[in-house]
A = this chain, B = another copy of it.
Amino acid sequence: MNAGKEPFAWILNIGSELTLGITVNTNGAWIARKLSFLGFSVRRILCTPDDEEAIAVLREAIRQGVKLVVTTGGLGPTYDDRTLELVSRALERRLELNKDALKFVEEFYKEKGLALTEERIKMAYMPEGATALKNPIGAAPACIIKAGETTIICLPGVPKEMQAVFELHVEPLLKEMVPEARVFEAYLYVEGVPESSIAPSLKRLVREKPHLYVKTHPLGHEVKGPRLKIHFMLRGAEPKAKEELISAVEGLRQEAVKLGGSAVYELNYSKDHPSNSSVVRE
């Protein structure tokens, strides 16, 4: 799937626990799949510590005119939750008490009968001009900030909270940003053919169809027990794109059988709108 007219996106997962290898970055993949189905081309997923490195990345994204940057992490109450301070510094804007964010934080703690301490109020400080987004299951509000051509969306790091904010606030907004996006996806499972034996057929297919994304994932051993998962993705309108995808996959399936293997495929596509919450399997 060649980068065509799709708007570019970067995902920036902030937290030393990531760059120290304590935590595997599952948020990056979750958001990447969402953004891909929403019609964005994810060019970089980055992890940085909670320090100046994140500022450098944000400035670079803005300088390159990347359309969308989604950050995760660093919105909580502790000293090391520094994302919004780092965003402010990257944009050279003041960090100010955001009224909506303060209301969300107040409501959250009032409901639990807890006082508003300095650390809790800290979560309501946001870069000038930010729009606060209510976190439906946690204390820390998220936010959206426009910076030139770039929209920056800052989400919490706890996966459940991040996903809840994304689906509640971010997804509807991004559907408006890329209204025409539509994605078809298929997996071809091949057994008994080494990756290097099917490689010439794949090469031919990709030369013929540069707009088709094809990727092989070796699951077994290259020679002793070869098993391959081949992943296809194609953007486009129905019925043309869907038919083109099926014909490409079926063609490769027949080649695998000719090479002495067995192969089956599975088709996924976004029904009403590209989002993996509405993917149909055939």
Contacts and interface: CB of A to CB of B under 8 A. Distances in A.
A65 interface: no
B78 A199 contact: yes
A25 B22 contact: no
Interface in A15-47: 15-26, 28-36, 42-47
B16 A32 contact: no
Interface residues of A, number: 69
A231 B213 CA distance: 41
Copies in the complex: 2
Interface string A43-65: 11111110101000100000000
B49 A47 contact: no
Interface stretch (A164-172, A173-181, A217-225, A256-264): A217-225
A170 to B, nearest CB: 15
Contact of A139 (B15, B28, B196): B196
A149 interface: no
A76 B222 CA distance: 10
Interface centre among A117, A119, A196, A197 (most CB of B within 10 A): A196
Nearest to A76: B195
Majority secondary structure of chain A interface residues (helix, strand, loop or mixed):
mixed
Interface string A1-22: 1010000000000011111111
Interface in A210-230: 213-218, 222-224
A206 interface: yes
A19 B47 contact: no
Contact of A77 (B51, B78, B199): B199
23 contacts: A15-B215, A16-B215, A19-B42, A19-B44, A20-B36, A21-B30, A21-B31, A21-B33, A21-B35, A22-B29, A24-B24, A24-B29, A44-B53, A46-B46, A77-B199, A78-B202, A79-B199, A80-B214, A80-B216, A109-B223, A117-B197, A138-B222, A139-B222
Given A43-B48, A44-B47, A119-B200, 18 more contacts: A3-B51, A19-B36, A21-B36, A22-B215, A22-B231, A23-B217, A24-B25, A24-B28, A76-B216, A78-B195, A78-B202, A79-B202, A79-B203, A112-B223, A114-B223, A117-B200, A118-B200, A120-B196
